[in-house]
Structure formats: structure tokens, C-alpha cells
Amino acid sequence: MFDNQKKSKSLTPIVVSNLSLLLGEIKILDKINCKIHNESIIAILGPNGAGKSMFLKSINGLIGVDSGKIYFNSRQINDHIRKEIALVFQKPTLLRRTVLENMQFVLEKKNKISNLEITYLLQRVGLDIYKDKPARLLSGGEQQRLSLARALLIDPSLLLLDEPTANLDPYSLNLIEEIILDENKKGKTIILTTHDMGQAKRLAKEILFFNKGKLLEQTKAINFFKKPKTQEAQSYINGKILI
């Protein structure tokens, strides 16, 4: 479970080449090119409808793209690679079962992982006392923490988080951020979308800034917030509406 460094290196660098996605006539993603390095935390920023979530789903292989390629350490996505990637959705999708059963559903997929690891992860997200509770009776924050614990149970090399702390209470927010930093220290590469500028500053080593389906900036987080390269990014940071 903790042998992530080796696995992470096997998926990175992730090279995105000319990635485009159309929805009818609308360009959801427009010729995206970027390179994601090993053991990084990348925050994807941009206004609503910029294509952030679609980009994450493309990396996960959840949606097919119209053109372009994504290479994971020079390999194109396949089921073997996808099993090394975990995606936590903005709106947690939980099975109509108890907390423990939600975790076990993933465990059945990976038989090598023991019940001890489930207990450990549930303790880590503060849900061990709720293990027999129906998952859908948990609060929003608890559901998101369970989603994260379930994602970690598959021991992914690449963790994709789609606005993982949107509308969460401060306790859940802090806990999730701690886990993100901790997992990154253990060697996982993490890509997250967020609207929380403070969160991006606290967590990200690198920023991808999207607007209207285009990747306008890929830069180190410290540089992005100090001196963004594009006018759009400057406006976004200043809280102005992007037209």
C-alpha cells in the first residue's frame, strides 16, 4: 500500500498532447498541451465552464476525446493504467450500502488489501465510528471524506480530485487538505480542481489555468499568484468576471 513512489514513477510524466473535446459545436477542451511531472500537486483553476472537470475526466479515461493523446510515462491509457488512477467526484457517488460496505466494494476488486487497511483509512478520515451507518446518511463533508478514503484504498499512483472541498465544513476541509499533502509526501501525484484560491496556494506546487476550454497557463504556483502571465488569469485572481 505504501509502495507508491515506484508506481507513481510508472505513470509519470503525464504528457497531454493536442487534447480536444467537442460538445456539438462547442469546444470544451481546445488543443490542450501540458506535461505533469512526478509527485506533484497540481491545481487546475479557472472559471465555471472552463473545462477543468472535463480535463480531469479525460485524464481518467472517463470520457473519450475528439482528438489528441494522453501519455502516461509514454504509454496511452488502458485498463491497467486506469486501475492506478483514482478519481474523487465533486458530488460523492456512494453505493446504497453502509460505510464499511462502500469500502469493501473496492476491496473486493483488490483482494490483497486487508480489512485492517479499511479500518486505518476510516480512522484517518474520522469515519471509523460510522462504519455500520448507511453511507447516504452521512453529512456532505463525511460523504466526501468517505469518497476520498475509498479512492485511497485502491492505492492509486495518480489521484484526481474534482473540487474535493466544495461547500465543506472547515473540519472536513482541513482534514482533506492534510490527507492530500500527506499522500503527496508518500509519492502520489495529485491533480485537483478548485475555486478556492487559498487552497490552491496552500497545496499546489503548480497551477494549470483554464479559460473557455483553453489552457492559458502552466506555471509554478508561487509565480502564478505573484505575477500571472495572462490578463485572464490576473482578472480571475482579482475576482473579475472573465468574458
Which positions touch another protein (CB under 8 A)? 60-62, 79, 82-83, 85-87, 89, 93, 95-97, 105-106, 108-109, 134, 136-137, 154
Of 50 and 85, which CB lies nearer to another protein in the complex structure?
Answer: 85
d(C-alpha 116, C-alpha 3), whole Å = 17
Cβ-based neighbours of 145, under 8 Å, separated by 6 or more: 125, 126, 127, 172, 175, 176
- Tell me the closest approach of the beta carbon of residue 87 to another protein, in angstroms: 5
Of 21 and 85, which CB lies nearer to another protein in the complex structure?
Answer: 85
| Closest by CA position to 36, among listed 89, 77, 79, 72 | 72
Of 22 and 154, which CB lies nearer to another protein in the complex structure?
Answer: 154
Of 141 and 228, which CB lies nearer to another protein in the complex structure?
Answer: 141
Of 86 and 207, which CB lies nearer to another protein in the complex structure?
Answer: 86
Of 38 and 90, which CB lies nearer to another protein in the complex structure?
Answer: 90
Among all chains, which residue has been given the C-alpha cell 474520522? 126
- Tell me the closest approach of the beta carbon of residue 241 to another protein, in angstroms: 30
- Tell me the closest approach of the beta carbon of residue 189 to another protein, in angstroms: 16
- How many CB atoms within 10 Å of residue 30? 17
- Tell me the closest approach of the beta carbon of residue 57 to another protein, in angstroms: 8
- Write 152-155 long-range contacts (CB < 8 A, 24+): 152/86, 152/121, 152/179, 152/183, 153/103, 153/106, 153/107, 153/110, 153/113, 153/117, 153/118, 153/121, 154/83, 154/86, 154/106, 154/109, 154/110, 155/1, 155/4, 155/7, 155/110, 155/113
- Cβ atoms of 36 and 14 within 8 Å: the answer is yes
- Tell me the closest approach of the beta carbon of residue 150 to another protein, in angstroms: 9
- Tell me the closest approach of the beta carbon of residue 85 to another protein, in angstroms: 8
